[in-house]
A and B are shown apart, each in its own frame.
Chain A
Amino acid sequence: MVKNSARLSQNTLTSSRRGDYADIFFENTDISSMVLQDGKVSQAQQVCLHGAGIRAVKGTETAYAYTMDLSEEGLKKAAKAVGIAPSPLPLWGSASFSLPLQHSGFVALPQRGSREGAETFRQFLLKAEAKAYALDPSIIKVKAYVAQRMQQVQYAGSDGTAFHDLRPRTALSVSIVMERGGQMQMGYASRMMQMGADFFTEAVIDEVVGEAVRRTDFLFTATQIEGGEMPVVMAAGSSGILLHEAIGHAFEADFIRTGDSIFTGRMGQEICHPSITIVDDGTLPNDAGMLRFDDEGIPGQRTVLVEKGRLNSFLYDRISARHFGVKPTGNGRRESFRCPPLPRMRSTYMLPGEAKEDDIIRSVRRGIYAESFTNGQVQIGAGDFTFFMKTGWLIENGKLTRPLRDLNIIGNGPEALRHISMVGDTLRIDHSASMCGKEGQKVAVSQGLPTVLIDKLTVG
């Protein structure tokens, strides 16, 4: 069966009339979730996605079709739509999900619809709610959401590449509403990991609930400030959004190929201080961005984007790698079988430096210490990025003096990199549920940063 499957895909795909590469991506994804609201676990969702995407590539030209019909006829029709002549065509239907399965040895998930699985979810949510109420008497609402996604994928390319993988992903999010003296505040925290049943631990609940409660409590005393340009200390962890927005997207090689990115033509150049090294990594165990294989069969790997201040690599999928005559870096990702792959980030972080966080804060006369974030955005061509700081502090004369909230921070990617003047000695990867959007496709990512000082950003 395995041999047949591989031969099938290769025979079929190399008979393409158009192009120099073709591939097929089978997917079977189950998503289960439950919501606790108003003290009850009374809502559940289950989603089943099932289908195959077929692609033919010639140079930088892509023809793509997808189908939910995995019968021989259905697959033939999709193949024909992209210009592949599937003849002679063995039984495509039997080819799906028949390669040897590879996965990281995660703990198996409870079966969809099983009492055991539903009870695991329910108890997890009820515990999260109870822990939240126990932490602060001013809590009036707790909403908790748990979701598991099991994506089974099988890939075959016309060059003989093939894999079959199981990708589990589990997430918990908790939002809290507190009331004090007639004033309401809402805070939120989440975790998302590539884990199965082993995600459901007391430690995860403690982390997420504790973070949500702390953030909500913080908002009662935090204020906005009059904005302007000022130094910004990015706290270790979720501040990695800086890298994601400021350089990550602009390093995606499709934007380099078209010339749109502000980093086009800058390979090998010094773009920031030599103490700075930035990585995009698909190998971090259990990380949301981990990939044993990307969605076009390239093994997961660690890619050094900036090495000691110099631009070392972009993020390549197969098409852009072929265009530039380099090897793909394993960044070809897609939301589902309905979408062709694009160069995307995985886990993007900066390696630690030598400064102590206290020394970094002490060096700022007046500025911002940015601690937690909600969302960000970038304009690829201009390099202008933004990210929204939910909580942070005003720094005055080297001390954290006043809690702050709800500030948009704006900068320009290359300029912000050049203005990083201190890098802390402790890297923290943030495992909040973080989805990155591009061309309507969302993929799971993570990011990390040691504490850094950026001499100048616009704070709103």
Chain B
Amino acid sequence: MKSEQLRSNSPLPRGSHEGVLPLKGVGGSLYFAEQVIRKLPASLDYKLVLLKNHEDNIVLRDGKLEKMLRATSLSLAINLYLDGREGFFYTNNLQADAVESFIRQAFETTRLLEPDESRMLADPSRYYKGGGPDLQNFDASLCEIAPAEKIKLLEETAREVEGKDKRIISMQTRYVDRQHEAHYLISNGFDACEQSSYCTLTSIISVEGESGQHPMDGWGESRLFFHQMPRQGIAQTALQRTLRKIGQRPAPSGRYRMILESPCAGNFLQPLLTAMNGQALQQDTSFFIGKLGEQVVSPLVNLVDDPLQVGTRGAALFDYDGVATQRRELFKEGRLMTYFIDTPMSRKLGMPPTTQGTHRLIMESSEPAPSPLPLWGSATKPLYNGCENEALPQRGSGEGAPTILVTDFNGGNCDPVTGNFSYGIEGFLMEDGIIIQPVSGMNITGNMLDVWQRLVAVADDADPWEAELIPSLTFEDVAFSGC
């Protein structure tokens, strides 16, 4: 099912929608809210979003049902704009009298604010005008699939490791699916709906470790449609990832080559994205102030936001402001290509508006390196995203240099003004491309702008099912503190 522009010019008579109306049956709440706003004793601009979310969340513990949640929620989000004043209001009580009372209170609150001329709706010329592709990112059947079928999937997953290792203490297997539907109605000419869905299956396992420790790790995979869900491999991967953590201890402090495993590499990118935010620029809390167009990170960094890829997570035809999405280069060969500037920040900063944030992040390399993920000890086959993959090299990168493969972060933070960071990590110490010791209780420290200049390899192993496709990354000369 596709997201659909329903109205390109306001106002149109009620009931004039074209195409799909996913919120059929409840969409009346939206138009009722609009009517209430139009009766207010002042002329306001508004953005109304009616949200419908359905979720199933089922947990098995050691193969037996532990928790099951099934619910559908409806809510209404309202932005009111009155002569430079902006109020945001949200309610899930959609009874007519409650909505009317809520909006009247919202109006009174907005009226009491001080004007700020930057607070206004987006220019309607930037709105999505319809005619986009069917994004093929909504599984309408999710809420109709019987819980028993989802439980069966979980039971199959749990059975993969049942009785496979005496060290297993506990295994949690969780299935979550969500359907998201939203209908947008903006007073200066936007009326459209969007839908998306995803399903996730995860397995988390704890085992008896050394010195009374209970190492725990997991693995999970997401898809847009239930029928795409993988039927095997998730629990096995979770068990492998847990067992390989037995014996974790800090390695000596020093400077190491750092390989960031793909599933956690996106976390390390986050401070760069935060620093691109218009609000951070305007508040002088960004280390990217004044750096647009400059080479700020390694030339290997090519990062795009591509919301228009059909059949993928994060795909969207318009953003929360109704603005049409487009493929956008964020970094090109290390140069900072854009900031995230919404309408208010555009006016405050005197810069052209871009977008609020990202939808589907993709880090690309013109010459992708082979996956740097290593052989596991003396094993004969490497692990890649939990699956044996014959195509990968028999040795990981890192020959000749002391290397730490980081598989997860454990706390830490980054100062948004300076870019100085310190993060806890866990992973593996490697020598000549072979893992020799699981490590934990270590920190990496440095400065974001400095460390991203030290990026020397970008692999091609990102999980295409995720909304952030950040592959494994290799950085030279990173400061680790340990024992």
User: Residues of A with Cβ closer than 8 Å to B?
Assistant: 32, 34, 37-38, 40-51, 60-68, 78, 81, 112-115, 118-119, 122, 140-141, 143, 177, 179, 184-186, 224, 226-229, 258-262, 264, 338, 340, 374-377, 379-388, 390, 405-408, 410-412, 414, 458-460
Contacts and interface: CB of A to CB of B under 8 A. Distances in A.
B422 to A, nearest CB: 4
A30 to B, nearest CB: 10
Given A40-B114, A113-B108, A406-B413, A260 B443 contact: no
Contacts of A226: 253, 479, 481
B57 to A, nearest CB: 9
Given A40-B115, A113-B105, 17 more contacts: A46-B87, A46-B105, A46-B109, A47-B89, A60-B61, A60-B66, A66-B69, A118-B112, A143-B283, A179-B284, A228-B481, A258-B170, A260-B170, A376-B411, A380-B216, A383-B213, A410-B441
Interface of B: 61, 64-71, 73-75, 84-94, 98, 102, 104-106, 108-110, 112-116, 119, 169-170, 172, 206, 209, 212-216, 245, 248, 250, 253, 283-285, 348, 410-413, 415-418, 420-424, 426, 440-445, 479, 481-483
B91 A377 contact: no
B71 A338 contact: yes
A34 B426 CA distance: 40
Nearest 9 pairs of A and B residues by beta carbon: A460-B443, A227-B481, A113-B105, A386-B411, A381-B216, A381-B214, A42-B116, A377-B411, A408-B422
B285 A177 contact: yes
A42 B110 CA distance: 8
A267 to B, nearest CB: 14
Contact of B89 (A45, A51, A387): A45
Contacts of B418: 185
B217 to A, nearest CB: 9
Given A40-B116, A44-B113, A259-B170, A229 B88 contact: no
A153 to B, nearest CB: 16
A65 B417 contact: no
Contacts of A43: 86-88, 113, 116, 119
A460 B422 contact: yes
A383 B105 CA distance: 48
A317 to B, nearest CB: 13
Contacts of A38: 116, 348
Contacts, number: 257
B108 to A, nearest CB: 4
Contact of B74 (A68, A114, A383, A407): A68
A68 B424 CA distance: 41
Given A61-B66, A388-B412, A410-B441, A46 B94 contact: no
B145 to A, nearest CB: 15
A408 B283 CA distance: 26
Given A40-B114, A43-B113, A388 B170 contact: no
Contacts of A387: 411
B445 A384 contact: no
Given A114-B108, A381-B213, A460-B445, A410 B116 contact: no
B206 A119 contact: no
A458 B91 contact: no
Contacts of B84: 42
A259 B443 contact: no
20 contacts: A41-B114, A42-B86, A43-B88, A44-B110, A47-B91, A48-B92, A61-B65, A61-B66, A62-B66, A68-B92, A122-B112, A227-B422, A262-B212, A379-B216, A379-B440, A381-B209, A381-B213, A382-B214, A386-B411, A405-B415
